Amino acid sequence: MREVAIIGIGQTPIGEHWNDSLRQLATRALHEAVSDSGIDRIPEALYIANMCAPRLSNQAHLGALIADHSGWRGIEAATIEAACASGGMAVQAAVRAIASGMVEVVAVCGVEKMTDDTTSQITSALATAADADYEGAHGASFVALNALIMRRYMHQYNVPHRAFGAFSINAHKNAANNQNAMFRKPISQQIYDRAPMIADPINLYDSSPICDGSAALILAPLELAKTLNRPIIRVRASASATDSIGLADRKDILSLAAISQSAQRAYQQAGLQTSDINLFEVHDAFSIMAAASLEACGFAKPGTAPFHAQDGEFALDGKLPISTMGGLKGRGHPVGATGVYEIADLITQMRGMAGANQIRDAVIGMAQNIGGTGATVVTHILERVA
Amino acid sequence: MREVAIIGIGQTPIGEHWNDSLRQLATRALHEAVSDSGIDRIPEALYIANMCAPRLSNQAHLGALIADHSGWRGIEAATIEAACASGGMAVQAAVRAIASGMVEVVAVCGVEKMTDDTTSQITSALATAADADYEGAHGASFVALNALIMRRYMHQYNVPHRAFGAFSINAHKNAANNQNAMFRKPISQQIYDRAPMIADPINLYDSSPICDGSAALILAPLELAKTLNRPIIRVRASASATDSIGLADRKDILSLAAISQSAQRAYQQAGLQTSDINLFEVHDAFSIMAAASLEACGFAKPGTAPFHAQDGEFALDGKLPISTMGGLKGRGHPVGATGVYEIADLITQMRGMAGANQIRDAVIGMAQNIGGTGATVVTHILERVA
């Protein structure tokens, strides 16, 4: 099995891109990633991560569309979809394509354009991540399902709502220094406490935004990466797991088995444990998901993550920095693209290019991408080897 | 690089499955494939091929959904989409996952449930395979785009419409003996000639049907396949290519560059040439596509395939049998699932299980799966090694 490296990253700012089409956003991120990689050849394969284009842009078949628009007509291309975990699964497909020895250079592009349609259409499109027959058909929106998890968590572990504010405050603080982030203003505990309710107990600042954006990565064999005059980022683990997509089909809605299973598989692949991880790009689509992910990955005991967040353990100078460029909450959450943004942020830190947000000793980084209410979970562990 | 084999096939009949949900169809095909393979373990990964579920069933995230419904909660899963070439691209992803050495047994499941919605919604969903901004927005349906290609072909090569009937007559004749086919009645040239026009010059019998169905494959390392007491089907080539998805973006709408590029890459991977191929499952979504594919793959000179079809060269006892179990025209074309059905049909022949349709000496088989009007093309070449 060939070792794999990520040699290039590119991203558009996240926001409401009313003047740019889906293909334009994707091509911009891809060209930036190729330029960043320093290679002078085009990728042989392209994996697109996207969830909403068939519904919100009337466009499937993004692989061929974006390959062509990027000037790469002829190369292999396909879309990988696993709801909000599409980005992570596309990276996994790219890792395997290179590990197989069948292709050399692969591009991954997460792209999402959500703001062109009505709120009602966007809410319906997001609900396709849940069980259409047993959840969606009964009117359960995606935020409502996460609210069920958060309410149960608060009850079971006796955690007050305001404790979750620490995740949001940290994310917005980090986003303020990221020029690609959607939100650039820090928030206070008071702003969090007074935010309007979206789906009780999830308020506006517990939720990531509807937005547009594209992020891209270039992957290549580790041996090729060594020939480029750049920091080498090696893929130590790429592991995924699934759970039922319907919450009611789980024995315990707080167990979130796929989160822990995906993380455990990643630790095993990498031969590492939680204490080896220097930073963690967490899937904070909702603040409850940040807490759940940290706990199920073994970074905090059940019911304690919000309190550790209040103690500053997940800040840039904390024990385990998370959402270091703003996370889904502050940077933004263009759903199918998010898993790719997470890894781009991780690499920005691991290359020492994070500017005012730069953390110390970013050698081993982990990113976790969650689809649905924890139904598909992908965990990547990267290492800077030079 | 590890050699890969296909060890199990399963399929539901194709038709209008009003009493079965998407997940039920998929699970039925998957369980049949596992049972057929003779292995007593569950796959570690599942790749779903689907195009229309996000629009027609309000359901994305099929990987986790179907993994769970099949009793495999926890395994890796994702959807691969490339319009009507989704099936072929999912098989390619599975081949690479095994070749990488990272997983052992992988399931691929193509599933499509198209008949639950209105004709207008289905037509719109199919149009997402074309360019939404430059084709779909102007009202070009998918059949209309194929009609442009067919009209140009008839003009350029001076081919009368009735010559294309040979493809349809052959497909329907072969489908009559396939219990999984949607259409079980042979048709005559007279029936073809009198069929109502859909989008001139494409008539009813030039077109494959709207339908529901699911097909599944189990893939494993060749070494594992050798331990099972079954005919061994080895993957000799898995190659894909892309073209512009908009017809107007091509220099010549008859060039269909991705068809020939994908086939040439496959011949090169396999170290084979056209004369080595014993049978060819062609993507006859429209009869013009059967002709175009045969010619671009090198099985006939440009402008001649319909005449060769009239001469019986593509019949079960001809030089190169095609659509041996009915093809997309007779068996049916559940769009995202079609590439998987094609390979299941190929293997049925290569194992000598094709009953009344069995061809002689089915050792090397080729299947080609086409997305859009030739924008994504995947070619697989399989070999029976024991």
Q: How confident is the model at residue A328 (pLDDT cuts 50, 70, 90)?
A: very high
C-alpha A82/C-alpha A310 separation (Å) is 32
Partner residue opposite A242 with nearest CB, options B64, B96, B131: B64
For strand A106-113 and strand A364-371, is the pairing parallel, antiparallel, or unpaired? unpaired
CB B383 within 8 A of CB B233: yes
DSSP A306: H
- Residues in chain B closer than 8 A to A243 (CB atoms): 64, 68, 73-74
Q: Which residues of A touch B124 (CB under 8 A)?
A: 58
> Do residue B129 and residue A60 have CB atoms under 8 angstroms apart?
yes
Tokens of A233: 């980022």
Residues in chain A with CB shorter than 8 Å from the CB of B54 are 54-55, 125, 128
CB contact under 8 A, B241 and A21: no
What does the block give as tokens for A214? 């594209």
Q: What is the pLDDT of residue A386?
A: 79
Q: For residue B233, what pLDDT is reported?
A: 98
CA distance A363 to A378: 20
Closest residue in B to A92 (Cα–Cα):
B97
Closest Cα of chain A to B246: distance in Å? Answer: 8
Question: Which chain A residues contact residue B55 at CB under 8 A?
Answer: 54-55
**Inter-residue contact B248 to B309 (CB < 8 Å):** no
Q: Helix A338-350 vs helix A86-99: angle between axes, to the nearest 10 degrees?
A: 70
Q: Which residues contact B190 (CB under 8 A, 6 or more apart)?
A: none
Cα A108 to Cα A89, A143, A219, B58: the distances in Å are 10, 28, 8, 26
Interval A106-156: pLDDT, tens: 999 999 999 999 999 999 999 999 999 999 999 999 999 999 999 999 999
List where CATH 3.40.47.10 sits in chain B.
4-118+211-225, 126-204+235-384
Q: A353: which residues sit within 8 A by CB, 6+ positions away?
A: none
Dihedral (Cα; B262, B268, B270, B276), 10-degree rounding: 90
A333 part of the active site: yes
Chain A residues in contact with B89 by the CB 8 A cut-off are 63, 78
pLDDT surpasses 90 at A21: yes
Inspect the interface and report whether the beta carbons of B61 and A371 lie closer than 8 Å. yes
Give me the phi and psi of A247, to 5 degrees please: -60, -40
d(CA A196, CA A143) in angstroms, rounded, equals 14
Averaged pLDDT score across all residues of chain B = 97
Could you tell me whether strands B364-371 and B376-384 are parallel, antiparallel, or unpaired per DSSP bridges?
antiparallel
Tell me which fold the domain A139-206+236-384 belongs to: Peroxisomal Thiolase; Chain A, domain 1 (3.40.47)
So what's the pLDDT on residue A1? 80
**Cα–Cα distance, B301 to B320 (Å, whole number):** 14
Cβ-nearest to B242 among A76, A124, A261: A76
Q: Do A249 and B97 touch (CB under 8 A)?
A: no
The 10s digit of each residue's pLDDT in A223-274 is 999 999 889 999 999 999 999 999 999 999 998 999 999 999 999 999 999 9
Query: What's the pLDDT score for residue B1?
Result: 80
The beta-strand segments (E) located in chain B are 4-11, 45-49, 76-81, 106-113, 197-199, 202-203, 212-221, 233-242, 279-281, 364-371, 376-384
Q: What is the largest CA-CA distance in chain B?
A: 57
- CB B51 to CB A74 under 8 A? no
Whether A295 shows a pLDDT value over 90: the answer reads: yes
CA separation for the pair B246, B267 (Å, rounded): 27
Residues 6+ apart with CB under 8 A from A93: A47, A80, B78, B93, B96
What pLDDT, on a 0 to 100 scale, did the predictor assign at position A5?
Answer: 98
The residue among B342, B242, B239 whose CA lies nearest residue B284 is B342
Residue among B64, B78, B376 whose CB faces A245 most closely: B64
Nearest partner of A350 among A374, A376, A328, A324, judged by Cα: A324
Which residue of chain A comes nearest to B103, CA vs CA?
A96
DSSP B348-360: HHHTT--GGGPPS
Q: Which residues of A touch B58 (CB under 8 A)?
A: 124, 127-128, 132, 136
Give the residue from B46, B61, B369 with the most A CB atoms within 10 Å of its CB, the best one to mutate: B61
Sequence-separated (6 or more) residues with CB below 8 Å from residue B255: none
Query: Of A84, A109, A211, A297, which residue is the catalytic one?
Result: A84
Structure token digits, residue A347? 């690499």
- In tens, the pLDDT along A158-213 reads 999 999 999 999 999 999 999 999 999 999 999 999 999 999 999 999 999 999 99
For A60, nearest residue in chain B (alpha carbons): B128
Contacts of B80 in chain A (CB under 8 A): 78-81
Residues of chain A with CATH 3.40.47.10: 4-118+211-225, 139-206+236-384
Cis peptide before A201 (omega within 30 of 0): yes
- Alpha carbons B381 and B379: distance in angstroms, whole number: 7
Q: Find tokens 């691991």 and name the residue.
A: A350
For A313, phi and psi rounded to 5 degrees? -65, -25
- Chain B residue with CA closest to A88: the answer is B78
CB pairs under 8 A between A and B: 220
DSSP 8-class letter at B277: -
> Are B242 and A100 within 8 A, CB to CB?
no
Taking alpha carbons only, the member of B266, B221, B269, B275 closest to residue B369 is: B266
Q: Two tokens at B262?
A: 């994908």
The letter for the amino acid at B122 is I
Residues of B with active-site annotation:
84, 333
Pick the CATH number of B126-204+235-384 from 3.60.10.10, 1.10.1380.10, 3.40.47.10, 3.40.50.2000: 3.40.47.10
CA distance B256 to chain A (A): 11
CB-CB contact of B10 with B219 (8 Å): no
- Quick one: pLDDT at residue A76? 98
Fold entry, domain A4-118+211-225 = Peroxisomal Thiolase; Chain A, domain 1 (3.40.47)
Best B50, B70, B81, B111 member to test A by mutation, with max A CBs in 10 Å, is B81
- Closest residue in A to B51 (Cα) is A60
Q: Which residues does A46 contact at the CB level (< 8 Å), separation at least 6?
A: A30, A63, A66, A67, A70, A72, A75, A76, A77, A78, A106, A107, A108, A109
Query: Under a CB-based contact definition with an 8 Å cutoff, are residues B182 and B260 in contact?
Result: no
Please judge whether A77 and B82 are an interchain contact, meaning their C-beta atoms are less than 8 angstroms apart. yes
Chain mean pLDDT for chain A? 97
Q: Hey, of A96, A104, A126, which one would you mutate to test binding to chain B, going by the most B CBs within 10 A of its CB?
A: A96
Kindly give the pairing relationship between strand B106-113 and strand A106-113. Answer: unpaired
What percentage of residues in chain A have a pLDDT greater than 90?
A: 98
Which positions ≥6 away from B352 have C-beta within 8 Å?
A: B231, B358, B362
Cβ-Cβ contacts under 8 Å, B77 against chain A: 82, 240, 242, 376
- Interface-testing mutation among B133, B242, B247, with chain A (most A C-beta atoms within 10 A): B242
Residue B124 CB neighbour total at 10 angstroms: 17
What span, in angstroms and rounded, lies between the C-alpha atoms of A171 and A256?
23
pLDDT tens digit at each of 386 positions of chain B: 899 999 999 999 999 999 999 999 999 999 999 999 999 899 999 999 999 999 999 999 999 999 999 999 999 999 999 999 999 999 999 999 999 999 999 999 999 999 999 999 999 999 999 999 999 999 999 999 999 999 999 999 999 999 999 999 999 999 999 999 999 999 999 999 999 999 999 999 999 999 999 999 999 999 999 999 889 999 999 999 999 999 999 999 999 999 999 999 999 999 999 999 999 999 999 999 999 999 999 999 999 999 999 999 999 999 999 999 999 999 999 999 999 999 999 999 999 999 999 999 999 999 999 999 999 999 999 999 97
Q: Which residue of B has its CA nearest to A58?
A: B128
Among the listed residues A219, A177, A209, the one whose alpha carbon sits nearest the alpha carbon of residue A358: A177
Q: How many CB atoms are located within 10 Å of the residue A355 CB?
A: 11
Residue B356 corresponds to which tokens in the numbers above? 């009344």
Beta partners for A306?
Answer: none
Catalytic position from the list A161, A283, A308, A333? A333
For the segment B244-277, what is each residue's pLDDT rounded down to a tens digit?
A: 999 999 999 999 999 999 999 999 999 999 999 9
B82 and A93 in contact by Cβ < 8 A? no
Of B61, B99, B101, Cβ closest to residue A102: B99
Nearest CA distance, A158 vs chain B (angstrom): 29
Q: Which among B96, B104, B3, B112 is positioned nearest to B48, based on CA atoms?
A: B112
What sign for the dihedral angle of Cα B141, B146, B151, B152? positive
